[in-house]
Amino acid sequence: MAYDTNNVFAKILRGELPCVKVYEDEHTLALMDIMPSVEGHTLVIPKAPAEEIGDLSAEDVSALMLTVQKIARAVKRGFNCSGVMLVQLNGAGAGQSIPHVHFHILPRETGLELELHGRAIRKPEELEPSAAKIRAAL
């Protein structure tokens, strides 16, 4: 299947849709999830156009994973949590809803409940305090 250049993340990367940025480099972008499962729910996406992780070059996978590691550490420090959950889905059959590779990074604590993803859209001003915590921990 051909990459959908009109998916949400492609539009964000082109500047056609807003986002609350946490971190950006030449190959990746980290941003706040607008439908967070928990406070601090962050996404990391490659700038390369790829639907699934297998569609990325080795260089792009390396860059993506380095950013995932950097952001996961910052989420853990910024939210002073004992763990982080990394989620990456490939294909509709796995539950991937946006056809662009992305990692979810969620701060976690034993007993902390997760809300169902996609239930409520948060405004940028609601997400900015979480983004600031993560940026400060980078």
The model's pLDDT over 96-129, given as tens digits with 9 standing for 90+, comes to 999 999 999 999 998 877 766 767 899 999 999 9
Domain count across the chain: 1
Query: What span, in angstroms and rounded, lies between the C-alpha atoms of 84 and 79?
Result: 10
Annotated catalytic residue 41: no
Q: Which are the contacts of 40, defined by CB distance < 8 A and separation ≥ 6?
A: 75, 78, 79, 81, 106, 107, 130, 133, 134
* Domain extent at residue 101: 8-137
14, part of any domain: yes
71, part of any domain: yes
Query: What span, in angstroms and rounded, lies between the C-alpha atoms of 67 and 78?
Result: 16
64: domain CATH number is 3.30.428.10
Average pLDDT over residues 18-47: 97
pTM, entire model: 0.94
85, part of any domain: yes
Place of tokens 């996404």: 43
2, part of any domain: no
118, part of any domain: yes
- The active-site residue, picked from 41, 100, 102, 104, is 102
Strand locations in the chain, DSSP E? 21-24, 28-32, 42-46, 83-87, 103-108
1, part of any domain: no
With bands split at pLDDT 50, 70 and 90, how would you rate the model's confidence at 2? confident
DSSP code of residue 92: G
In the chain, % of residues over pLDDT 70: 97
Q: Which of 9, 53, 13, 52 is CA-nearest to residue 34? A: 9
42, part of any domain: yes
3, part of any domain: no
